[in-house]
Structure 1
Amino acid sequence: MSPSTPLSLIDFCTVYPGEKVGESMARSVDLAQRAESLGYSRIWYSEHHNMKSIASAAPAVLISHIGAKTKKIRLGAGGVMLPNHSPYVIAEQFGTLAELYPDRIDLGLGRAPGTDMNTLGRALRRDANAADHFPEDVLELDGYLKGRSRIPSVQAIPGANTNVPLYILGSSMFGATLAAKLGMPYSFASHFAPTHLVQAVTYYRNNFEPSDTLSEPYVIAAVNVTASDSQEDAERQTEGVHRERVRSMAGRGRHLTEDQLDQILNSHSGQQILDMLRFSAIGTGDKVRQYLEEFTELAQADELMISLQSTSHDEALRSMEILADAWSLDPSRMAGAPGEHRV
């Protein structure tokens, strides 16, 4: 029996060394088109700032471009860092997307800055206490999208009555608590913050309060995947991914020799960085499928959000194909709103 859990993707619009940003965006279009043809449910793009290897700083703009190049796959932000913005502006942006691409747009919401503190304070000009207002901002945004503005005589146009599905993103108990209280779907960032996965999801499910949006809890859990035609090649790719992750996080822009990188990899700090990728399925299709089946049970997940971990675009595409085949994805079935499966 094939797994019934939907698979989705998180695409960071990765800029590889020596590559132009426009090239990474063109590859994101290619990835979305391939994912659509293979039966993946949705693709999300995450708001990051001042990161040389990530070009998804403006998710709404990227989604609009990719929406025009695809036909039915759902597209969304995973997520918009809401304290960086006015809820009203986000309602207008995603309301516009919902009108352009009906029944295809999702909006995941996070409260982290998505950047370093210098960029946060000086470039984004985000108030130091902005995250404290996240719950109220979520409700304000939800009101705009449902045509129930909390401000008299103010409507989001576009936006009102589009009912864009909102997802609370998180990697701690805060997001789980908020999602449960508001009766919203919850997406856990276990692909890079694995520590509180089980605790947070368990709390969310046990304390979920039904809402007019969602009658039962709905969990999306993120997990890394490196699938290849051989175990040896998957492990080779993983080693490359690990080295680049440590180089980026520990090097902080400094040039590191391979010997220096080896030393960091073997250090306590290096192992802490690699532990962020603790939930990773690595190997051939059968091995990856087995891992994901076990992870689905551990995470109590209704849907898996896959972060492809490869050292090149071609390897990522092949990984995606192998996973789709191993999971027996059906291209005729696409995800709907939270907790809903549509043909």
Structure 2
Amino acid sequence: MSTLRIPLSALDLVPLSDGMSRPDAFEQSRILAGELDRSGYHRLWVAEHHGSTTFMASATSVILADLARHTERIRLGSGGVMLPNHAPLMVAEYYGTLATLYGDRFDLGIGRAPGTDPMTAAALRRGNPDLNTFATDVVDIIDLLGTPRSLPGGVRAIPGEGTNVPVWMLGSSTGGAQVAAALGLPYSFASHFAPQQINEALALYREHFDASARTAQVSRPTVMAGVNVLIADTHAEAERLFTTAQLMRVHLRTGTLGPLLPPVDDLASVIPSELLQFAGRPNGQASFVGTADDVVERLEGFVAHHELDELIVTTYTYDPVPRRESYAALAQAWGLDATAQH
């Protein structure tokens, strides 16, 4: 297909499959990044998680530096940095260093959740999640990355100042939407795992967006939304492969964390009936599972309904090969231009 569609991006959490070594998980994400780059995906973001035996993405800036060395065009970024875990100066220094080393290829997506359990959050110097404090920290980061200037006391981000790394606000509720609107930032909604408030959050963001804010990075409300996608040759095979993600969802909800498990033919045979509600339906909201043509048709409906500017896709499979094949099939069906410069 060659129909012009909105940009397509990818979200990676460096998943670890059962029986896979941790270095192997990074290698598989590295291979995927190269293929996404060559296929014409617009961005590849890495999401910060801590203390997880499922995801290896705790040090996002380190991972992004590695991916920058193995890609050429695709934009790289955080999806996101969980700001309560970090001092604004350190965030500006890390992402300013990436931009200084590798050029204007980086985005700084910022979130308000800790990305971990309460005990690990406390060990990370968990900050105050209050919206006002959070918004102030975001403003400090934008200032530190902008025209060379200092915060009170002469604090400067070196390197970092003058790199103007683009800042995105992330959210799964109306809180992040409020901050994004007030500061004039592009907004990425985490509908891939928390779709419940997408309509309310996007309406609030668009209604209150302030293009005149000193911190504004876009001239109009700009929305990206996360979706789960798994494409295979047949519906049956796609739904079977997707059971790995459903098992992961159950384990996350019940606190029984661990590596990704192989797909199964019947979820009910491995999950107690009272826990099946946590697995979700393969073709539920923000999950698109099936053949390429069917998935693209339903994605187009999702994009139109929410008036999106960009989609960011995440895919989980036990075997990394079907994961890469799913991304490749989506790129082809979506009509991505592998020769386009980002």
| TM-score (normalised: structure 2) | 0.91
SS of 2:177 mapped into structure 1: helix
> Deviation digits for residues 323-342 of structure 1, max 9, x if unmatched?
0110010022244xxxxxxx
Q: 2:139 maps to which residue? A: 139
Kindly tell me: are residues 243 and 213 of structure 1, through their superposed partners in 2, closer, same or farther at Cα, counting changes over 3 Å? closer
Residue type of the alignment partner of 2:56: A
Distance 1:164 1:260, change over 3 A: closer
In structure 1, the partner of 2:276 is 270
State which drifts further: 326-335 or 97-106.
326-335
2:218 to 198, 205, 214: 214
Instruction: From the superposition, tell whether residues 26 and 159 of structure 1 become closer, same or farther in structure 2 (CA, over 3 Å).
Output: same
2:17 is aligned with 1:11: no
Which of 246, 250, 254 is the equivalent residue of 2:250? 246
Q: Deviations over 1:104-141 (max 9, x none)?
A: 000000010000011112x2132455776211100001
Hey, what's the Cα distance between the residues in 2 that align with 1:163 and 1:195? 33
| Contact preservation (8 Å) 2:33, 2:44 | yes
- Distance in 2 between residues matched to 1:237 and 1:3, nearest whole Å: 29
Query: Equivalent residue for 1:286?
Result: 293
**302-311 or 105-114, which moves further after superposition?**
302-311
Shift of 1:299: 2.3
Change (3 A) 1:260 1:71: closer
The equivalences for 1:169-248 within 5 A come to 169-210=170-211, 211=213, 212-248=216-252
Amino acid at match of 1:284: T
> Identity over aligned residues, as a percent?
40
**Structure 2 residues without counterparts, runs of 5 or longer:** none
Amino acid of the residue matched to residue 100 of structure 1?
A: L
Distance 2:295 2:286 in 1: 11
Map of 1:293-304 to 2, 5 A cutoff? 293-304=300-311
| CA–CA separation in structure 2 for the residues paired with 1:166 and 1:265 | 43
Matches of 2:63 and 2:232, distance apart in 1: 28
- Distance in 1 (CA, whole Å) between partners of 2:339 and 2:207 is 33
Q: Cα 1:107–1:127, aligned 2, differ >3 Å: closer, same or farther?
A: closer
Gaps of 5+ in 1: 336-343
> CA RMSD for the aligned pairs?
2.4
Change (3 A) 1:102 1:270: same
